[in-house]
Each structure stands twice: as C-alpha cells, then as structure tokens.
Amino acid sequence: MPYPAGHREQVRRRIVDSARRLFNRSGFEGVSVDCIMAHAGLTRGGFYSYFDSKSDLYAEVLSCFFTDPKWKSRWEGIEVDLASAGAGPEIVRAYLSRQHFEDVENSCPMIALPSDVARGGEQVKSAFETVFKAMVSVLDRDVRDRKRTGEKRAMAIAALCVGGMVVARSMNDRRLADRLREAASAVALELGGWTARPKVRKAVARPAQNH
C-alpha cells in the first residue's frame, strides 16, 4: 500500500526535529544515529534514505526560524513575525528572553552548537553562516539609525544576542546570567535605535530674586 502524499516530508521533519532536540541537549558527539531515530520513533535502517551521514543531518539542523519557515519556536508568550516592520526588537527580546534561556531543546542552534560548529567541516560552518547572515539581514532591515552602516550594527546586535546567550548558559550563577541577558538586550536594542529616549527638559531661566 503506497504511503499518503507528504509522508516522506513528514518523516524527514521528524528526524530533523528529533536531532535538533538531542544535539541541543548533548552536542554532536554525544548523540548517535540510533538515538536520533529511536527518539523520533523510527528505525535506524530508514535514516540513510533521507541523509547521507550524521554530519549531513547536522547541517540541516543548524537551520532555524531565520531560514526555515516550518521551524516553530516553542517559547511561551513569545512570537516573532519576521515579516513585520518591527521584527528587529522582537528578535532581540525573544532571543535573550528567559524562555529561550531555559528551553535548551528548542533553542536556536546557533546558541547550543557553536563549539561543535567550530570543530566541524566546511558544510557545517557554511550552514551556520547561512543562518547568521539571515539573522543579520532581518535586523539590518529594521535598524533605525541609517547615518552609520546598518549592516555593521545588525552584525553587532546578532553577535550580542548569540554570544550573550552562550555566555549566560555557561554560568552557574543564575542571577548573574539574568543580568548578563538583560544587559546584552539593552545594548542591542540601543544599537538598533529601538529604545525610547527620554525627552530632555530645556532649562528655564528664572529671574534673580532680590534679597
């Protein structure tokens, strides 16, 4: 009996979702193909019908909501509409949010996997670069101060988001990690011109009083 339409794509998606969770939790070396397939409820034998190797799968896992329209974030109370005019500040707040910090399995892979990428091959590094460039492109569109190069600011904002979360997750002190996230978010929003600046009151000259 033939499989229904879309079956192959659904199975591929299950494998990718399973791998993303496990790689985020345990890293590339800590996860086997057997583990990935078992976690997806599938047998190992079907893996090579979809991917040439674990590295091939790893490169696809590196995609996220910046490059994959089917990727769904699961951060409670947070939605990012990449098509909206205000996507820039939404991305910063979502990326450096407590929900994203705590939900390791559903993290953007740029946060969970940078050390693996640094040790990976050309294919893996290219996949990471593609996601980072996509993030910069969205941020660049919304940077408000165009007097300076928007792309430079967008790259700095993206680096603050990704790097801030990597460092925060590396800390034992939760309060220090929270302060770091908040600081990175504040600076990133300021770089993008997405913070309201308080109005400066003009000094009013008062007549001198006679004593």
Domains and CATH numbers, the chain: 7-58 (1.10.10.60), 62-192 (1.10.357.10)
> Which amino acid does the sequence have at 83?
A
Q: What is the pLDDT of residue 79?
A: 67
Q: What is the pLDDT of residue 204?
A: 42
Residue 25 in tokens: 């939790």
Contact indicator for 17, 109 with CB cutoff of 8 Å: no
CA 123 – CA 25 distance, rounded (Å)? 22
Nearest one of 129, 145, 140 to 63, comparing CA atoms? 129
Nearest one of 33, 93, 108, 104 to 63, comparing CA atoms? 108
Q: What is the pLDDT of residue 198?
A: 41
Q: Print pLDDT tens along the chain (211 aa).
A: 556 778 899 999 999 999 989 998 998 888 999 999 999 999 988 999 999 999 889 888 887 777 776 666 555 556 677 777 788 998 899 899 998 999 888 888 888 888 888 888 888 888 889 989 999 998 998 887 656 577 899 999 999 999 999 999 999 999 999 999 999 999 999 999 998 544 444 444 444 455 4
